[in-house]
Amino acid sequence: MPSANSIAAAGRRAGQGWTIARRSRLAAHLFTLAFLLAWWGYSQTVPAFVLPGPVPVATRLVQFFTTYNLYKHAFASLEHIAAGMAIAFAVGTALALAAHYFPVLRLAVHGRVSPFLNSFSGIGWTLLSIVWFGVNEFTVIFAITVVLTPFAIINMREGLDTLDREMLEMAASFTRNRWREFTRVVAPALLPFVFATLRISFGVSWKVALAAELFGGRTGLGYLFNLAQQNFDVRLILVVIAIIIAFVYGTDRLVFAPLQSRFGRPDAEPAS
C-alpha cells in the first residue's frame, strides 16, 4: 500500500503531474470524514450497545490510555507476540536451513511439516493447547508460535532458494570455512527475507494473539475482548479494535517499511 509514490506515478501517467496525487489525497481525507460522519449518523439511530458513536468511543480511548490496568493488557499482548515471533522465527529458520544444507530432509520439511502446519487452523491449535496446558500464557505463546512457524519456513526457504549460486561458488573459492561463508555471504543475502518474514509474522501474529488470548489467556487485549463481550461493552470492543488497527498499521509503516526499504527488496510487500 505505498501510496504517495504510486499515486504520483499514476498522476504522471495521466499526464497531470502531481495535481491528481493531491486530489487523490484530498479525496481520501474526505472519505475518512464521510466514514466518521456515517458512523456517527448511524449510531444516532441504533441503541448504544449495538453501535456507540465515534465520540463515546474516542472518550473511552482516552480513558484507556490513562488507566494502568489497561496498559497491562496491551503490554501482555506485546509480550506474547514478541515471544511467539522470536521462537517461530528461530524454529522456522532452523528447519529451512536444515532442509537447505541437508537436501535429504527437503521433502520432510517442505513436503510434510510445513504444509501440515500451514493448513492447521490457529483456533484449532488454541483449543488443543487449552486442553493440553490449560488457560495461561504458555497456551497463548504456543498457539502464536505454531501458527507463525510455517510462515517463517516458507519465507526463509524462498530466500535460500534464490541465493546466487555464482556468488556461493565465488565464496567457496575464497574460503573453505563454511561458517565464514555463511556469515559473510549467505546471511547478508538472506537479510531481506528475514525482514519480510518478520513483517508478515507481525501482521499475522496480532490476529492469532487476539484469538488465542480470547479463549486461552488471562491477560492481553484478547482477554479484554472476552470481558467486553461478556459485559456487552461494545465501546471497549471498538476501542481495542481501534488501538490494534493503529498499532499494526503504524508499526508496519513506521518500523517495517523503512527497515525493509533500507535492507530489503524494494518491491517486497507484506502478503499478510
Partner 1 sequence: MTGRRLSERVIADGVVVAAIAGWWLMSLRLPAFLMPSPLQVAEKVAALFVTPSLLADTAASAARVVVAVVVSAVLGGALALIPYRWPVTEAIVRDRITPFLNSFPSVGWAILAMIWFGTTNAAVLFVEIAILTPFCLINLLEGLKELDGELIEMGASFTRRRGRSFWKIVVPMLLPYVLSAIRIAYGVAWKIALIAELFGVSSGLGYLMLKAQIVSDAAMVYATCFAIVLLFLAGEKLVIDPLSRLVAYK
Sole binder of partner 1 in the list 76, 96, 130, 152 (CB under 8 A): 130
Among 107, 187, 227, 255, binds partner 1 (CB under 8 A): 107
| Smallest distance from partner 1 to CB 3, Å | 5
Choose between 28 and 55: whose C-beta lies nearer to partner 1.
28
Of the candidate residues 54, 163, 184, 207, the single one contacting partner 1 (CB under 8 A): 207
Q: Pick one of 39, 51, 98, 135: the residue that binds partner 1 (CB under 8 A).
A: 51
C-alpha torsion angle, residues 103, 104, 108, 109 (rounded to 10): -20
**Between 195 and 215, CB nearer to partner 1:** 215
Phi then psi for 233, rounded to 5 degrees?
-90, 80
Residue 24 burial by CB count (10 A; 0-12/13-18/19+): exposed, middle or buried?
middle
Q: What's the grid cell of residue 126?
A: 488454541
Helix axes 234-251, 221-230, angle to 10 degrees: 160
Nearest distance, CB of residue 155 and partner 1, angstroms:
15
CB of 11 to partner 1, least distance (A): 7
Q: DSSP of 133-178, one letter per residue? A: H-SSHHHHHHHHHHHHHHHHHHHHHHHHHTS-HHHHHHHHHH-S-H
In Å, the largest CA–CA distance within the chain is 74
Asked whether position 88 contacts partner 1 by CB under 8 A, the answer is: no
Of 3-11, 78-86, 88-96, 161-169, the segment contacting partner 1 by CB under 8 A is 3-11
- Of 124, 188, 258, 266, which one interacts with partner 1 (CB under 8 A)? 124
Least distance in angstroms from the C-beta of 157 to partner 1:
15
CA distance 22 to 6: 12
The residue type of 222 is G
Out of 27, 55, 62, 191, the residue judged to bind partner 1 by CB under 8 A? 27
Nearest-angstrom CA–CA distance, 269 and 181: 29
Distances (CA, A) of 43 to 36, 38, 49, 232, 267: 10, 8, 10, 16, 41
DSSP per residue over 44-57, as a string? HHS-TTT---HHHH
Smallest distance, partner 1 to C-beta of residue 174, A: 28
Contact residues: partner 1, CB under 8 A: 1, 3, 6-7, 10-11, 13-14, 20, 23-25, 27-28, 31-32, 35, 49-51, 103-108, 111-113, 116, 118-124, 127-128, 130-132, 203, 206-207, 210-211, 214, 222, 225, 228-229, 232, 234, 237, 240-241, 244-245, 248-249, 252, 269, 271-272
